[in-house]
Every structure is written in C-alpha cells, then in structure tokens.
Amino acid sequence: MEVLIVPTPDDVADLAASVVVDALPTSRPPVLGLATGSSPLGLYRRLGEAAAAGHLRVQDASGVALDEYVGLAGGHPESYRTVLEREVCDVVGLDRARLFVPDGTGADLEALIAAARRHEERIVALGGVDVQILGIGANGHLGFNEPGSALSSRTRVKRLSDRTRADNARFFASPEDVPTHCITQGLGTILSARSLVLVATGAAKATAVAAALEGPLTASCPASVLQWHADAVVVLDEDAAAMLANRAYYDASAAGLRLPG
C-alpha cells in the first residue's frame, strides 16, 4: 500500500488524478470504477481536464459504479446513476451508455438480487475494473459495505447503517427520505479490481483512515481490506492523515526507491 499525504484537498485531487491516469491502460478501452460522495469530486474534475488534454482515453472507456440506493425512482437527483451522470459523465466526458450502475428500482427482493448478480456479470464481461476509485465513510465503510461486511463479499443487497443514513441525510429533504437499503459491490468485488485509489480529506475522516490503514484487517472496518490489495494507493490531505502513526515512513517511502550512495 502506498500512502501519499499532501497539504490540501486540491492537492489530493491533482495527485490522485495523475495516479489514476498512470494506472489506466491506453492500448485498450479502460474500465474505471466509480465512487460517489464528495471526496472524489475534485479528482473527477481533474480527470475531465486530463481527457480534454488528450491524456486520458475516455472516448471508449466504461464506468462501473460501486453502489446504488434501493427504491429511488430512475432520474431521482440523488440516485447514484444520476449523480454519476452529473459528476462523472458530464465532467469527464464518459459516455452515459457505458456507465453501469446496479439497478435499485426493482419492485421486490428477487428483482434486486437479480440486479446485483447482473452487476457482477457486467464487471466480468468488461474484463474487470482497471482502477477502482474509492472514498471512505466516517465509520470505515467502503462503497456501502458497512462494518460487519464479509471480506470476500460480492455485489448484493444490504441494509444501510443508521450512521450512514444520518451522514447522507444532507442530500435529502428529510432524514426519513434516505433509503434504508442499497445494492453494493462487495469487498471481494472491490478487491478484484487491478488497482485501488482511495481519496480522503478533512478531519472527520482521520479516525476511519487510521483504522483502515494501521488497524487490524477486520470486517469491523471494511476499508481495512485495502491492506490486502497488492496495488492500493491512498491519497490524503493533512487533516485526514492527522491520526496516522507511521507518517514519517509514508513520507520517506513517497520519495521513491532511490538507494543511498
């Protein structure tokens, strides 16, 4: 795991975008794993600039969503399909026809379970995710994998925790409007991506970041699965990095593998 710490959220966006661009293939259509939330918004803007400058192969790229709410009508402004169309397709230039989001509109559990299975099948059909962009919940969740999620889980229907519903209430007219369930890629699905890039900014994420990077690998902190992935990069601002114990080592490592002498 590589931990890169920079002064400000703008610096996080700049550095994470260059990590993503470098990790994406140029000789075939890239497959980008997309997170919602406020954390990656600056990164998406930088990717849009990279695409405009010809540094990102976006014309035939695909985007695969991490998760979706259950029960929001198609076109609801807070459905993750709508959010990703607005924040990624329109900003980066990704074709909406190649944005794949689990369908959370199914009328019953059976339909939702089928939608979760189709999302897994879609990822396989695309040849897997090249770079999965991730944020982290204040409770350590990844996608909508809440504490207690199986480390090898695949895309499935899950209940949202009270903490996550409260955190996300700011996007809805009232807290009761926040859906109770979701379809989310599992932690095993996320680990199947060729590389992971997690971004976090702000003091509210410092505890979760420290637990994920330096605590035990445990379902109690879903984001700790990053420790298991062979190609995971974490880009943090100073505030999000504030509770890391191994900071000096991360900074030294970030300087590269130059040998003395």
Task: Tell me which residues are annotated as active site.
Answer: 67, 139, 141, 146
CB atoms under 10 Å from CB of 37, counted, come to 18
Tokens of 66: 């991490």
In the bound state with ligand GLP, the residue whose beta carbon lies nearer, of 60 and 177, is 177
In the bound state with ligand GLP, the residue whose beta carbon lies nearer, of 102 and 137, is 137
Among positions 35, 211, 221, 240, the unique one binding ligand GLP when judged by CB under 6 A: 35
Q: Does 39 bind ligand GLP (CB under 6 A)?
A: yes
In the bound state with ligand GLP, the residue whose beta carbon lies nearer, of 203 and 252, is 203
Among positions 132, 164, 189, 224, the unique one binding ligand GLP when judged by CB under 6 A: 164
Stretch that binds ligand GLP, among 21-29, 37-45, 106-114, 117-125 (CB under 6 A): 37-45
- The site for ligand GLP, by CB under 6 A, has a size of 14
In the bound state with ligand GLP, the residue whose beta carbon lies nearer, of 105 and 168, is 168
Gap between the Cα atoms of 58 and 72, Å rounded: 29
Residue 226's SS3 state is helix
Supply the DSSP string of 180-213, one letter for each residue.
Answer: SEEEE--HHHHHTSSEEEEEE-SGGGHHHHHHHH
Q: Does 208 bind ligand GLP (CB under 6 A)?
A: no
Closest CA to 228 of 152, 141, 157, 173: 152
Among positions 4, 24, 36, 92, the unique one binding ligand GLP when judged by CB under 6 A: 36
Q: Does 67 bind ligand GLP (CB under 6 A)?
A: yes
Gap between the Cα atoms of 167 and 204, Å rounded: 11
Stretch that binds ligand GLP, among 18-26, 30-38, 81-89, 123-131 (CB under 6 A): 30-38
CB of 97 to ligand GLP, least distance (A): 23
Task: Enumerate long-range contacts of 87-90, CB under 8 Å, 24 or more apart.
Answer: 87/36, 87/41, 87/44, 88/34, 88/44, 88/63, 89/63
Gap between the Cα atoms of 7 and 178, Å rounded: 33
**Identity of the residue numbered 96:** R
Q: Does 185 bind ligand GLP (CB under 6 A)?
A: no
**Identity of the residue numbered 61:** A
Considering only residues 97-156, where is the footprint of ligand GLP by CB under 6 A?
135-137, 143-144
In the bound state with ligand GLP, the residue whose beta carbon lies nearer, of 30 and 143, is 143
Footprint of ligand GLP (CB under 6 A): 35-39, 66-67, 135-137, 143-144, 164, 168
